[in-house]
């Protein structure tokens, strides 16, 4: 039986990946030490998800390991060696704001931790498929140099620009831009994953999503835009919009759709490849548009305030061009639109409140 190692296994993408690979008949080793609770507080803890994985998946084994500890990471890989057929590296410190508070920790987790997982894989299972969840933030603020036009509820790229119809493709440079501390660490990890593919011939693939979401997302003020927004709307909590008149645009991809893309690559891997990934125009929205839809779905008004200062290096407009991935993997399509995602999150929010899973 082939084994998959999934880092960040109790997070949004990691847990979805564990379930999908387990359903495919693989043994799954989950690596997660609940750093999310350290980053964002107890409400963001992934301990409950970890417990459910252990309960639900008979071939799941959990490793409470910090990816900053190379000896511990390598020991996991050494125990299983070439039985390991897939490595999905989804562990990360995911917040702009938190990274500024502790740059050393952010870089150690996002960049050095990625190198630890890569090197352990190279030493013990070099033929395994290695998938890395990077971020659109590797482009820094370069997207903000696009010819943006202000509309009533959103910023939009000019209609005569090549990116208008499909979004931003992989030709955009990651150089000479303001990345944020978080973005710089993810650039280092992203490029290293590519390098292990190109230099060592490993089957490494980098995914650069915009916003990841889904009902299992433990959204907080510092991370998890749609999840936190719906939680605040449904439960009557205040929300703060940061800059750009609330008209900043993102495309959003459901965790199940991203993991479906993972499965496509695992079945037909490539070396050192990079993909912008998202739901593109199927699930794009501005902050104002997202608020309106959350209010419509929940039947409640959101209490929100506006702060003029935007996050440093943040995108005003990001929509992923997924043409390249669909050309390489033509059977993949996103199944979720924005309303479907938010409706799922609304229902999950109410279930969690009823069960007491959400702290006040």
Other CB atoms closer than 10 Å to residue 319's CB: what's the count? 28
Other CB atoms closer than 10 Å to residue 82's CB: what's the count? 12
With a cut of 50, which residues of the chain have pLDDT below it?
358-360
Note whether 144 and 318 are within 8 A (CB): no
Give the whole-angstrom CA distance, residue 98 versus residue 182. 8
Give the whole-angstrom CA distance, residue 131 versus residue 342. 27
Give the whole-angstrom CA distance, residue 106 versus residue 214. 24
| Residue 133 pLDDT | 98
Note whether 125 and 73 are within 8 A (CB): no
| Residue 41 pLDDT | 86
Q: How many residues does the chain have?
A: 360
CA dist list (Å): 283 to 152, 267, 286: 18, 26, 10
Give the whole-angstrom CA distance, residue 333 versus residue 335. 6
DSSP code of residue 311: P
The residue among 250, 257, 341, 258 whose CA lies nearest residue 293 is 341
| Residue 355 pLDDT | 60
Most distant pair of Cα atoms in the chain: their distance: 57
Q: Which regions of the chain does DSSP assign to beta strands (E)?
A: 3-7, 27-31, 60-63, 84-89, 129-133, 148-150, 155-157, 203-209, 211-213, 239-242, 249-254, 273-277, 284-286, 304-307, 317-318
| Residue 214 pLDDT | 83
What are the pLDDT digits (tens) for 207-265? 999 999 987 766 566 566 788 899 999 999 999 999 999 999 999 999 999 999 999 99
| Residue 196 pLDDT | 98
Note whether 200 and 207 are within 8 A (CB): no
Give the whole-angstrom CA distance, residue 354 versus residue 348. 10
| Residue 153 pLDDT | 98
- Region for 120 from its dihedrals, namely left if φ exceeds 0, alpha if ψ lies in -120 to 50, beta otherwise: alpha
| Residue 360 pLDDT | 38
Note whether 344 and 289 are within 8 A (CB): no
| Residue 227 pLDDT | 87
Question: What is 3-355's CATH topology?
Answer: Rossmann fold (3.40.50)
Other CB atoms closer than 10 Å to residue 174's CB: what's the count? 17
Note whether 250 and 320 are within 8 A (CB): no
């Amino acid at each position: 039986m082939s084994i998959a190692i999934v880092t960040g296994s109790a997070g949004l993408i990691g847990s979805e990946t564990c379930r999908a690979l387990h359903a495919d008949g693989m043994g799954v080793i989950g690596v997660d030490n609940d750093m999310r609770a350290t980053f964002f507080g107890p409400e963001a803890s992934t301990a409950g998800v970890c417990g459910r994985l252990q309960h639900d998946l008979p071939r799941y084994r959990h490793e409470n390991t910090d990816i900053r500890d190379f000896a511990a990471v390598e020991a996991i890989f050494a125990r299983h060696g070439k039985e390991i057929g897939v490595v999905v590296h989804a562990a990360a410190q995911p917040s702009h704001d938190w990274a500024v508070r502790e740059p050393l920790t952010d870089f150690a987790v996002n960049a050095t931790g990625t190198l630890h997982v890569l090197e352990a894989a190279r030493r013990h299972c070099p033929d395994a498929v290695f998938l890395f969840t990077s971020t659109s933030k590797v482009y820094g603020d370069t997207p903000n140099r696009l010819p943006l036009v202000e509309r009533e509820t959103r910023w939009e790229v000019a209609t005569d620009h090549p990116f208008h119809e499909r979004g931003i493709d992989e030709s955009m440079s990651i150089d000479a831009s303001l990345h944020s501390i978080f973005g710089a660490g993810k650039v280092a990890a992203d490029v290293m994953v590519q390098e292990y593919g190109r230099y060592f011939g490993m089957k490494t693939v980098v995914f650069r999503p915009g916003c990841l979401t889904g009902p299992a997302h433990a959204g907080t003020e510092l991370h998890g835009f749609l999840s936190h927004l719906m939680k605040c709307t449904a439960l009557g909590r205040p929300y703060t919009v940061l800059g750009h008149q609330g008209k900043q645009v993102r495309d959003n991809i459901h965790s199940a759709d991203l993991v479906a893309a993972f499965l496509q690559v695992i079945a037909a891997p490539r070396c050192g490849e990079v993909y912008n990934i998202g739901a593109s125009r199927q699930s794009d929205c501005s902050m104002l548009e997202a608020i309106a839809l959350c209010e419509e779905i929940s039947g409640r008004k959101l209490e929100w305030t506006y702060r003029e200062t935007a996050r440093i290096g943040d995108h005003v407009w990001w929509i992923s061009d997924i043409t390249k991935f669909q050309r390489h993997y033509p059977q993949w399509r996103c199944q979720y639109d924005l309303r479907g995602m938010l409706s799922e999150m609304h229902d999950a929010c109410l279930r969690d409140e009823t069960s007491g899973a959400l702290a006040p």
